[in-house]
Amino acid sequence: MSFRLIKLLAPLLTLMAALLLFNACTTRTASNDSPTPTPTPEPTPTEVAREFNPEPGEPVRFQIDEIDVDAEVEHVAQDDQGRMDVPQEWENVAWYELGPRPGEQGNSVIAGHYDSFSGPAVFYDLRELEEGDILRVITEDDEEIEFEIYEIESVHIDDADSKKIFGDTDEYNLNLVTCEGVWDTETDMYDHRLIVYSRMVDPCPHPLDSDCL
């Protein structure tokens, strides 16, 4: 399936966004089976005409210097139940490839595990970040795209605003999601989500972008 066709179909997936957020972080008990990592919330990409500038390359690494994160980026779509798939490694992050690429207009979303069966995972220290800190995405073309954090919030899973995380926007955003809070033994998941909102430092990296003329 072409990337253009995926983007045209993406709005049909909007109604699943909240469910995907609420289904996150549901596995913590040790098991002989492969663990189910923290699901990546599903973005609702904005359809943007980019006829005058090339699309940014797909993300391959994700870095946060302040908390020593330097992670491989897995590209995920949906699992066999129609939900967004999850990163398969605790130390990796996952970008939802049916949504905008980091550096495109819209809300791109990357998620990572809070912890694992053996201890902290890639986003365990995400709570230590502050407004103004920089997130960095490295693409397959070796382009470095930086985003500046402008808001961090911790919300109960029942109060998460899926539109704010996944909804349409004219900005070039990257939102991070992980779990935190108290482990709920009845639902088998953490009861809060930590969400980091960031905007692209240079919103016009390509001089022929029609939005920058």
pLDDT, tens digit, for every residue of 166-206?
788 999 999 999 999 999 898 778 899 999 999 999 876 55
* CA separation for the pair 211, 58 (Å, rounded): 21
User: Residues 178, 165: contact at Cβ < 8 Å?
Assistant: no
Q: How many CB atoms lie within 10 A of CB 91?
A: 15
SS3 211: helix
Mean pLDDT in the chain? 78
User: Residues 149, 196: contact at Cβ < 8 Å?
Assistant: yes
Distances in whole angstroms, Cα of residue 169 to Cα of each of 43, 47, 105, 106, 120: 11, 10, 7, 5, 33
Beta bridge partners of 107: 173
Reported confidence tier of residue 84, pLDDT bands at 50, 70, 90: low
What is the token pair recorded at 14? Answer: 């909007």
Closest CA to 135 of 206, 203, 65: 65
Residue 80 reports pLDDT greater than 90: no
> What CATH number was assigned to the domain covering residues 3-47+57-212?
2.40.260.10
Average pLDDT over residues 51-80: 87
* CA separation for the pair 194, 112 (Å, rounded): 11
